Amino acid sequence: MYIIGIDGGGTKTKGVIATEAGIIIAQATVGASNPNNVKKEDLQKELAKLIDMLKTESKEAFKEVKRVYAGMSGVDHPSARKEMKVLLESVLPKAIPVTVNNDAITALYSGTLGRPGVVQIAGTGSITFGLNGEGVLDRVGGWGYLLGEGGSGFAVGSEGLQEAFRSHDGLADGTELITLLCEHFQVQNLPDIIHSIYNAVNPKELIASLSRHVFTAADHGDMVAQAIIQKNANHIGEAVSCLINKQFSEKERAHELPVVLAGGLFNRLDLFKGPMEEIFEKYSIKAKLIRPGIEPVGGAVIAGLLEENIEVDEGFIERFSKH
């Protein structure tokens, strides 16, 4: 049996064809697919390109695909999921069933193999998502960057920009962020970056990418940058604690709950782990932090297999991660 798993986000969209054992037969990556940031016609083109690339890489496996499972950002509302499903069905053979769900589920499954737990996504955007022992799903945050998305690459990058401009204006302490941002945009003066930011094709993605300069400044001992990271790490700790307390039973909370950490910000878990664990201790939360052994697209394959009533064994991660 072959499953197509898709992981779509605000920066890129990855797809694989994999066997039920977790062996990848084909894989491809295209551009962003968050419907909140990408026009419908452009989204359809990206999805068509992804499917065509997978088909080209392995025509024989493509013919035998039993299900497509897509974990996508920006499809929280049922109408958005339905629209995404229709778009995917339009670029696939009619006989293949398609499931579209929040990308948080596939990220969770990449760390728990389909079992209950919490996933904290901290990439371009952020969301805290949980699945309890009764199969009930719930979330905290993930409402989009205009409504506040603490603990995201956008939040870190945006706050880095704000603090740099506050410093430039004399409203706050000096920070290395000014130098780093000027070097990034190849300008002499900080105000000269305004045009590039406000005229970006995807300003959310651009601002999120600037988060790496906040990490660089923090590594150099910049207190402004360190405070930004502390604030966002605390936010994540608060969100995870809130979700666990409201969603999981007292019996479930008595044991360590897996908290899967997905997204680019956790490449610097060394900066986030301490503040997060302080918040867990404050709320008496027993959390086992897990960095998944496979990408979220592997969680999409797992979700697809579970929809076909196929159990996934522990060897799946090892086999999938070899590719």
Per-residue model confidence (pLDDT) at position 323: 66
Mean pLDDT taken over the chain: 95
Per-residue model confidence (pLDDT) at position 48: 97
For residues 25-35, give the mean pLDDT.
Answer: 94
pLDDT tens, position by position, 154-210:
999 999 999 999 999 999 999 999 999 999 999 999 999 999 999 999 899 899 999
Please check the confidence at residue 76 and state whether its pLDDT lies above 90.
no
Per-residue model confidence (pLDDT) at position 54: 98
Kindly report the backbone phi and psi dihedral angles of residue 42, in degrees, each rounded to the nearest multiple of 5, phi listed first. -70, -35
What structural domains does the chain harbor? 2-96+294-321 (3.30.420.40), 116-292 (3.30.420.40)
Kindly report the backbone phi and psi dihedral angles of residue 79, in degrees, each rounded to the nearest multiple of 5, phi listed first. -65, -35
Per-residue model confidence (pLDDT) at position 102: 87
**Confidence at 9, pLDDT banded by 50, 70, 90:** confident
Per-residue model confidence (pLDDT) at position 321: 85
Considering only 73-77, 107-111, 223-227, 275-279, which range has the smallest mean pLDDT? 73-77
Per-residue model confidence (pLDDT) at position 187: 98
Per-residue model confidence (pLDDT) at position 104: 85
Calculate what percentage of the chain has a pLDDT beyond 90: 85
Per-residue model confidence (pLDDT) at position 316: 94
Torsion over CA: 303, 309, 311, 317 (sign): negative
- Please provide the size of the chain in residues: 323
Kindly report the backbone phi and psi dihedral angles of residue 138, in degrees, each rounded to the nearest multiple of 5, phi listed first. -150, 170
For residues 40-64, give the mean pLDDT.
Answer: 96
Calculate what percentage of the chain has a pLDDT beyond 70: 100
Give the torsion through C-alpha atoms of 248, 251, 254, 258, to 10 deg: -40
Q: Which residue has the higher pLDDT, 169 or 293?
A: 169
Per residue, the 3-state secondary structure of the chain, as one string, reads CEEEEEEECCCCEEEEEEECCCCEEEEEEECCCCCCCCCHHHHHHHHHHHHHHHHHHCHHHHHCEEEEEEEECCCCCHHHHHHHHHHHHHCCCCCCCEEEEEHHHHHHHHHHCCCCEEEEEECCCEEEEEECCCCCEEEECCCCHHHCCCCCHHHHHHHHHHHHHHHHHCCCCCCCHHHHHHHHHCCCCHHHHHHHHHCCCCHHHHHHHCHHHHHHHHHCCCHHHHHHHHHHHHHHHHHHHHHHHHHCCHHHHCCCEEEEEECHHHHHHHHHHHHHHHHHHHCCCCEEEECCCCCHHHHHHHHHHHHCCCCCCCHHHHHHHCC
Please check the confidence at residue 120 and state whether its pLDDT lies above 90.
yes
Please check the confidence at residue 77 and state whether its pLDDT lies above 90.
no
* Cβ contacts of 268 within 8 Å, gap of 6 or more: 215, 229
Per-residue model confidence (pLDDT) at position 163: 98
